[in-house]
Structure formats: C-alpha cells, structure tokens
C-alpha cells in the first residue's frame, strides 16, 4: 500500500517501489541502483533488468539536468479535467539517466526552452497527493 | 527475393464515426470483401487471427466469438494485440504459421469499434495507454507523448508548423478521393490560421501539436488472407508476396527513451530487418504506407525508413516528393490522418492499400509507374511496438 498517494491520480496501489513516495515526503527524488551490477534506474525498479538481481538500493537523482523536450497539454484525460493547461517534460541527467514529470506551474510558458538547465523537487498537492516536478536550476 | 507466402485477398470496411452495428458485424464487412477478393470459402482457411486493442472492446476474448460469426469454426483461432499495430503483428504471426507448415491459408482480421465505449471512458483508457505506474499519474495522453517528440525534433531539425500542416494537406488530398475514409473533407492552409478563431485545425491539443496534426478516430475493420506458394498460385492470378518482415520494441517510459530528436527507435529497427530480409534498400520502395497517427510521425517515419537522411524529412514534404506523383508516394490513401485510425484495423488497412497499389487496382489513388515493391510501417503505442512489412509482385 501507499503508492495510491503518488501523482495527481495514481492507477497503482501496490508496488515494491512504494518507498518512493515516503522518500518524496522526506524531500528526496530517488531511483534505484542494482547492488550487484551497479545499473541505475529511473523511474525506480524493484528488480534489475540487466543482471536479474532483486538486490536493489535507492539513490538520489542528480541535481543538475537539461530539459530534453516538453509539451503543454490543453486537453486532459478523464480525472484530470481541471488541470489544463499543464506542461510535461523529460529531463536528461546524462549517463542514460532521464526523468519524466510535469513542470512547476511557476515557470512561465514563454521561458520554457529545449536545453534549459533544470532540476527536480518533491511536490504535495492540496488534496494530499504526493508527486515531483521539474523546476529551473 | 523470397516468394513463399502471399497475400491472396484483402478487405476493408468503410472507416466511419459510430458504426451502426456490433463488432462481429463490423468484422464481417472486411472479411466478406477479402473472401470474395481471394475467391476462397471458409473450408479453405486453416486458421484465423483476430486483432484489436482490447481497451475498446466490451467483449472479452473476441476471437472465438468473431470466428463463429464468420463461419470459421472449428478451425483454430486466437487473438493478437500490439495496440495500434495489432493487425500487422497478426500478419507476421500468420506468415510464421504458414512458413512453419502448420496451415496453408490463414486469415487475419483487424477490427475496432472505438465508439463501443463513451468518449469519457475512452479518454480514461487513452490516459492509461502507456506507463500507468509512472506516467499516467501526471495526466499523459497520446498527443502529448508525440508532442514530446515533435518539440525536440523541431528544435533540432528546423521543422516548422507549416511543414506539419503540409503533411495534413497531403493526407486530406487523398482522404477526399478515398471513399472508405472517415475524413473526406478537404483541408486548406487557412484552416490552420491561428489568428482566425473559426479555423478548425489551428487549436492546440498538446503543443506543438494542433487539432489538424492529430488523426481521426474511427470504427472500422480490415482483413488480409495469406497463403503458401502452392495455394497462392492455385487461388490467385495476382498474388502479392510478403518479401520482408521486421519488428521491434522499445521502453514504455519516456525516461528510458534515446534521443527524442531522432524519432522512434522501433522504426529504424524494424526497417533494417525488413530491408535485409527482402534484400533491398529504401530506394527500391515505390509506394509506402506509414503510421501517421500525428503529422510529426510521418516526418519521423521518412527518416526511420531511409526515404530521407536524418533530420531532412521535411525536404520530402516541401518538395511534394511523397505525393502520388512524387519520387516516393506515401499515404496516398489519406493515411491515419484522413482515412482514419480504428486501432486494431489500421495495419491491415495499410496492407490492403499497398496490395491494391501493387496490383494496379488502387483507382483514383493509383501511383504511376506500375510499382513492384511497396512498404507498410505500422507503429503501436508511442513507438512501443513497430512493424515494417515489405511486399513484392
């Protein structure tokens, strides 16, 4: 249990990576790293796709990344109708590590550019849901 | 070029909004046409494969139900799903069964009644069409995913909104003449004029993609009948051979995707395999159907298939090289953008178009020069699955 708290609206209640939400509450955005082969994953995985180990640890994602791409949604799926417009993007931290999330509301749309320096931080919605978002570095 | 498995029959329903019938009746339309085209009866069919995206179907396990309705029992039947590429995956499976010697003739039916569920239900299901654990909680949807590719691609390669519009203008040119298309109205540049509030194609959906950049939902069915060499020669005067098949998959999560400015990796991977198997290169292809669920997807496909160098896909549309009269005609049946995209039926419909082109039976859409090799590029999800299938006479 616990993962139903993740995101604007979660579609998954039970996952072995539910600790991700507890870490967000502690102020940390973390992925998982394989203790056996060292492969790093974001979003986190309970199992290593590279060496098939189940021996995983948590690591904090880097602070500095660049915005590889983004989009602003003017329509939204069922359950998100009150949110548009909202912007989502992909952050590239280098070394194959990337992250997908919404951009913080405070960022003006005209200021969002491919290649801009960004970082990420946890976010708590008014209804108690826990997430993370992309902010300017 | 290997000639072991051929298409001997093709069929497609009209692609429409709100089909007035159930899924079994919808499937019957394409099946009946393909059977008449092939000149076979149900006793000639060794097995059937049914393909759709299950989130739209109220019927669980539709294969058995549809096989019975089409008179295809007691032969084996089963269901195949790779979302939007389901029916080209079905053709790959049918090909494999024939090559393995299990069956002489296999029929592949793709169908989708998108109006089976309400648009609110559909919106919810579409939102869960990708990674429900890590991405859907942000409010993702198909246009937004393709917009991520469009944004990165446009920033790097100098592709403009006018280029994207040009793809739609091309597809609409052929939607007008394709009597099976769902969107038969013409589209003009003024429809994309953002300064005009009446312009129906200009509104943003997921920027940089606008209403006119997105394909049309539809209800529809398609049917492809495959046969081995012996049966193909017995039944068909104009067998069209499956000469190359390639398929690939990619990570579902955007965080695990390689360079967004380079397009969908499944396109490159599937194309390389299919060209190798067929023993040809991109320049040998004389007519193609590519997966233009969004305008940007057609531009990326030009490059994935090798019709244009990396980053130069825009030149093909600027030079009108992909029009019917051009160097490499693409989607001259209206494509997904105008013909419509009834998910599970789409791949089979694309294959039907190429088979008709190679037979010289494409009517007002027929390309000149008696094309001998045609290609179908069909993508499932946001480049989650990709199939490239090459056909020859």
CA B198 centroid distance within chain: 31
Residue with tokens 């946001």: B382
Interface residue B251 vs chain A (CB under 8 A): no
**Per-residue model confidence as pLDDT tens digits over B109-141:** 999 999 888 777 776 777 677 899 999 999 999
Q: List residues bridging with B112 in a β-sheet.
A: B220
pLDDT in tens, B336-387: 999 999 999 999 999 999 999 999 999 999 999 999 999 999 999 999 999 9
Contacting residues of B for A12, CB less than 8 Å apart? 132-133
- Note whether residue B49 is domain-resident: yes
- CA nearest neighbour of B349 among B361, B360, B338, B339: B339
Average pLDDT, chain B: 96
> CB of A49 within 8 Å of any CB in chain B?
no
Integer-rounded Cα Rg, in Å, for chain B is 19
pLDDT at B130: 82
Count of domains for chain B: 1
Specify which residues B207 forms β-bridges with.
Answer: A72
Residue B300, in any domain of the structure = no
pLDDT in tens, B138-190: 999 999 999 999 999 999 999 999 999 999 999 999 999 999 999 999 999 99
Residue B147 within a domain: no
Question: Looking at residue A114, what is its pLDDT?
Answer: 96
| pLDDT value for A58 | 98
CB atoms within 10 A of CB A111: 8
Nearest alpha carbon to residue B342 among B60, B179, B110, B186: B110
* Residue span of the structural domain in which B32 resides: 5-118+217-235
Residue B74 domain-assigned (yes or no): yes
| pLDDT band per the 50, 70, 90 thresholds, residue A1 | low
Residue B340 within a domain? no
Verify whether the Cβ–Cβ distance A80 to B256 is below 8 Å: no
State the residue for tokens 């008449």: B36
Helices (H) and strands (E) in chain B, counts: 12, 11
CA distance A90 to chain B (A): 7
Quote the CA–CA distance of B218 and B340 in Å, as a whole number. 6
Q: Is the ipTM of this complex over 0.85?
A: yes
A61, A42 in Cβ contact below 8 A? Answer: yes
Q: Is residue B169 assigned to a domain?
A: no
B174 neighbors B332 (Cβ within 8 angstroms): yes
Contact B85, B343 (CB under 8 A): no
Q: What is the CATH number of the domain that holds B225?
A: 3.40.47.10
Written as six digits, the tokens of B183 are: 């969107």
Residue B104 inside a domain? The answer is yes
Asked whether residue B344 is assigned to any structural domain, the reply reads no
**Minimal CA–CA distance to B300: which of B202, B167, B187, B201?**
B167
Instruction: List pLDDT tens digits, range B273-322.
Output: 999 999 999 999 999 999 999 999 999 999 999 999 999 999 999 999 99
In this prediction, residue B127 carries a pLDDT of: 66
């Amino acid at each position: 249990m616990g993962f139903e708290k993740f995101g604007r609206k979660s579609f998954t209640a039970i996952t072995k990576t539910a600790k991700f939400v507890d870490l967000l509450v502690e102020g940390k955005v973390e992925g998982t790293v394989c203790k056996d082969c060292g492969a790093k994953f974001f979003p986190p995985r309970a199992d290593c796709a590279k060496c098939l180990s189940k021996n995983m640890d948590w690591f904090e994602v880097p602070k500095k990344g660049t915005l590889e791409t983004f989009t602003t949604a003017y329509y939204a799926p069922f359950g998100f109708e009150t949110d548009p417009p909202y912007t989502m993007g992909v952050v590239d931290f280098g070394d194959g590590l990337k992250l997908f999330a919404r951009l913080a509301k405070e960022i003006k749309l005209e200021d969002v550019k491919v290649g801009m320096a960004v970082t990420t931080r946890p976010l708590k919605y008014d209804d108690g849901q826990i997430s993370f978002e992309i902010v300017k570095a | 070029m290997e000639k072991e498995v051929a298409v001997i029959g093709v069929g497609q329903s009209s692609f429409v909004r709100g089909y007035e019938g159930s899924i079994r009746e919808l499937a019957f339309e394409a099946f009946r046409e393909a059977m008449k085209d092939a000149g076979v009866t149900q006793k000639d069919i060794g097995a059937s494969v049914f393909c759709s995206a299950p989130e739209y179907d109220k019927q669980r396990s539709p294969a058995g139900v549809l096989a019975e309705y089409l008179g295809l029992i007691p032969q084996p039947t089963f269901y195949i799903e790779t979302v939007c590429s389901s029916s080209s995956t079905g053709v790959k499976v049918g090909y494999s069964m024939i090559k393995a010697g299990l069956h002489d003739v296999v029929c592949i039916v793709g169908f989708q009644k998108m109006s089976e569920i309400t648009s609110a239900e559909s919106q919810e299901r579409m939102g869960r069409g990708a990674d429900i654990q890590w991405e859907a909680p942000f409010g993702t949807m198909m246009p937004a995913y393709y917009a991520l590719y469009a944004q990165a691609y446009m920033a790097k390669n100098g592709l403009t909104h006018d280029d994207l519009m040009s793809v739609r203008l091309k597809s609409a040119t052929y939607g007008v003449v394709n009597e099976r298309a769902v969107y038969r109205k013409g589209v003009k540049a003024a429809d994309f004029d953002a300064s005009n509030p009446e312009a129906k194609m200009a509104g943003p959906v997921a920027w940089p993609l606008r209403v006119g950049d997105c394909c049309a939902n539809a209800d529809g069915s398609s049917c492809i009948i495959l046969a081995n060499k012996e049966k193909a020669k017995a039944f068909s005067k104009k067998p069209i051979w499956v000469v190359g098949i390639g398929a690939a998959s990619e990570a579902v999560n955007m965080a695990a995707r390689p360079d967004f400015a380079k397009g969908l990796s499944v396109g490159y991977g599937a194309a390389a395999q299919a060209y190798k198997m067929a023993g040809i290169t991109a320049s040998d292809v004389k007519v193609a159907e590519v997966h233009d669920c969004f305008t940007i997807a057609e531009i990326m496909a030009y490059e994935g298939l090798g019709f244009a160098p990396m980053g130069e896909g825009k030149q093909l549309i600027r030079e009108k090289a992909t029009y019917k009269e051009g160097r490499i005609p693409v989607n001259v049946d209206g494509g997904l953008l105008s013909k419509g995209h009834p998910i599970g039926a789409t791949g089979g419909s694309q294959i039907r178009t190429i088979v008709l082109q190679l037979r010289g039976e494409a009517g007002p859409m027929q390309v000149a020069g008696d094309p001998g090799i045609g290609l179908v590029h069909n993508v499932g999800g946001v480049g989650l699955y990709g199939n490239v299938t090459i056909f020859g006479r």
